[in-house]
Structure 1
Amino acid sequence: METRNIELRLLRYFVTVAEEMHFGRAAGRLAMTQPPLSQAIRALEDMLGVALFVRTKRSVELTPVGKDLLPEVRRLLAGADALRPLAQSLARGEAGVLSLAFVSTADYGLLPLLLRDFGARYPGVRLQLVEATSDVQVEELVAGRIDAGLVIPPLLPRHAVALSYLPIAREPLVIAMSSDAAAELGQGAQEWSQTPVSLHQLADAPLVVFPRRLAPGFYDIIMGCYGAAGLMPRVGQEAIQMQTIVSLVSAGMGVALVPQSLRHLRRTGVVYRPLLESGPVVETGLVWRAAEVSPVLAGFIDIVRTHAATVPALP
């Protein structure tokens, strides 16, 4: 008989006999008679092709192979016993893996809040996090390589039908500028001030911005802000990560329009100011494949919905 046909029942019999070192007592623990137990152990030995016990009329002892095999069998049975509770946890979304991508703008406000709440409710779920631009996230979603993503809309039209989107938060844009530029405007050197700055005051400063091909939604919001003020910005530098954009601002390479939560990204020589011009906001939302919602993902979506309901909408 092949080892692939070994039943867990036979392995449990082996462990019980090894613990009792007596077929009669082992049979009593297993609520069976001794002859069927002896036959079962013989069948297991035949399957494995080795003797597990040395039997005499007076004693039962484990063979050297039996002694070495016993801890391995115990580990195997422990794993089998854990299957049912694991399966139940997976079905409830309390265990498993969630692969989540996020835009860099979410890393300084929205993402930590969601991960904190999700981790508190589902501590048994393992998170796989990756930072990516919105366009890359959509492609990864469609290919099935991630479960969900925090993106800046709009979605690509050719993928919109296959994906679900849930808006989470909208926040105003603020100006990130060097402390030297702030000093020239008569602003203080503090990292954040409620004193607004007009785009017209910075019209000659180069703009540091995401490339449109990688973040069309965010790029168009920024350009629309300048356009509404009657200005045409001069793009000085492009970068695909917020950390890089803010670092370029600190080096005096220009100014940037960033979500208000980026105030938490502190860089020496960078200050943040609200815009005098009203209206420019950036939205962040969750996107996932509409036809594939695992229990783990459903739990995360529930966290997102709860958070979205508590965030006041901006005009």
Structure 2
Amino acid sequence: MSLPLIDVRAWRQFIMVAEELHFGRAALRLNMTQPPLTQAIAGLERHLGVRLFDRNKRHVQLTPAGAALLPQAQDLVARALALPEQARAAASGEVGRLRLAFVSTVGFGGLPGWVRKFRATSPGVRLELTEATGDVQLQWLRDGRIDAGIVLHAHEEPAPPGIARQTIGQEPLWLALPQAHPLAKAKTLSFEQVAGEPLVLFPRAILPAVYDGLQACYAAAGQPLKVEQEAIQMQTIVNLVSAELGLAWVPKSVSQLQRAGVVYRELQETPYLPVCETSVMWVASQETPVLNRWLQVLGETRS
């Protein structure tokens, strides 16, 4: 019967003899008798087609081939012995990779804390972060380019087909105003005061339900959306407000972005004004142990 090339037991026997340079002592360490060990080493040598030991009745010495193979055999056996623990760690999500995309708004909110906690509890997981809008994330999920995405959407907006979603938090829309704007001096604002103002707004494609909610809110007040300028990133929107191109509706968390020339105001209760919801989404049929550990961290820190 031929000996498999990757036979951990045979290589472990070789290592013991190489370390002891004595078949009797090596056999004791292996809890076996000497004759089967001698036969096993001879069989390994026949299989390899090289001699691993020079031996006679007085001494045992590694051949150059045996000395060259010893470090590799030790590494092979060490990695083989580690496989069961690695398998358990992979099954529990303690090791692996998580490819995560996120919208820019969570950078002002919970993302730093979530990442710190996940890295502290799962140091064996490689976390790969990419910023992207929700529409891009959805395509990446379907293409298998990411494992999960953190998105912004309207409260109670249904998840896309085939996509699972877990809510992380909710927040209202606040208004960003140029500091030089006359309304910026007011401590409280009503929707009627700002409804006729030009806006810097995100494109409908990246937040369709929030955009439609705003449009409905303006329609209820008898006003159209006066979009002066569109921008995708919230940082860019705030910068354009600073340039006095218009007012902007932003999630409350963005108010942590302090930009010279910009102030933030919470409006008095406004009917139809949409509420923003932050969620993590993933392909429903592709949950993994690593992803489940990430979802657990988010569930423990939901705002």
For normalisation by structure 1, the TM-score amounts to 0.84
Asked whether 1:232 is paired with 2:227, we answer: no
Could you say if the C-alpha distance between residues 66 and 277 of structure 1 is closer, same or farther in structure 2, counting changes exceeding 3 Å?
same
1:23 matched to which residue of 2?
A: 23
Asked whether 1:99 is paired with 2:99, we answer: yes
Asked whether 1:270 is paired with 2:262, we answer: yes
Q: Give the C-alpha shift of residue 284 in structure 1.
A: 1.4
Structure 2 residue matching 1:41: 3-state secondary structure: helix
Q: Give the C-alpha shift of residue 290 in structure 1.
A: 1.9
The 8 Å contact of residues 229 and 277 in structure 1, kept in 2 or not, is answered as no
Which residue identity is paired with 1:230? G
Matches within 5 A, 1:165-180: 165-180=165-180
Which residue identity is paired with 1:179? Q
Which residue identity is paired with 1:98? L
Post-superposition CA distance 1:183-239 (Å, at most 9, x none): x33629xxxxxx233444445543122111232123223333433443323212222
Structure 2 residue matching 1:266: 3-state secondary structure: coil
Matches within 5 A, 1:91-240: 91-153=91-153, 160-181=160-181, 184-185=182-183, 187=185, 195-203=187-195, 205-240=197-232
Which residue identity is paired with 2:43? A
2:237 matched to which residue of 1?
A: 245
Question: For residues 237 and 20 of structure 1, what CA distance do their matches in structure 2 show?
Answer: 78
Q: Give the C-alpha shift of residue 304 in structure 1.
A: 2.7
Which residue identity is paired with 1:187? K
Bigger Cα displacement from structure 2, 14-23 vs 236-245 = 236-245
Post-superposition CA distance 1:78-114 (Å, at most 9, x none): 2112111111112122222222222222221132333
Q: Give the C-alpha shift of residue 126 in structure 1.
A: 1.9
The 8 Å contact of residues 221 and 282 in structure 1, kept in 2 or not, is answered as no
Question: For residues 2 and 175 of structure 2, what CA distance do their matches in structure 1 show?
Answer: 71
Matches within 5 A, 1:293-304: 293-304=287-298
Which residue identity is paired with 1:110? G
Structural RMSD (CA): 2.6
Structure 1 residue matching 2:32: 3-state secondary structure: coil
1:306 matched to which residue of 2?
A: 300
Question: For residues 18 and 132 of structure 1, what CA distance do their matches in structure 2 show?
Answer: 56
Which of 262, 274, 280 is 1:286 aligned to? 280
Could you say if the C-alpha distance between residues 4 and 229 of structure 1 is closer, same or farther in structure 2, counting changes exceeding 3 Å?
farther
Q: Give the C-alpha shift of residue 2 in structure 1.
A: 8.1
Give the unaligned 5+ runs of structure 1.
189-194
The 8 Å contact of residues 152 and 218 in structure 1, kept in 2 or not, is answered as no
Question: For residues 94 and 143 of structure 1, what CA distance do their matches in structure 2 show?
Answer: 25
Could you say if the C-alpha distance between residues 52 and 101 of structure 1 is closer, same or farther in structure 2, counting changes exceeding 3 Å?
same
Structure 2 residue matching 1:152: 3-state secondary structure: strand
What percentage of aligned pairs have identical amino acids? 50
Bigger Cα displacement from structure 2, 200-209 vs 261-270 = 200-209
Question: For residues 4 and 227 of structure 2, what CA distance do their matches in structure 1 show?
Answer: 66
The 8 Å contact of residues 10 and 44 in structure 1, kept in 2 or not, is answered as yes
Structure 1 residue matching 2:232: 3-state secondary structure: coil
2:55 matched to which residue of 1?
A: 55
Question: For residues 176 and 235 of structure 2, what CA distance do their matches in structure 1 show?
Answer: 12
Structure 2 residue matching 1:6: 3-state secondary structure: coil
The 8 Å contact of residues 196 and 223 in structure 2, kept in 1 or not, is answered as no
Question: For residues 145 and 23 of structure 2, what CA distance do their matches in structure 1 show?
Answer: 53
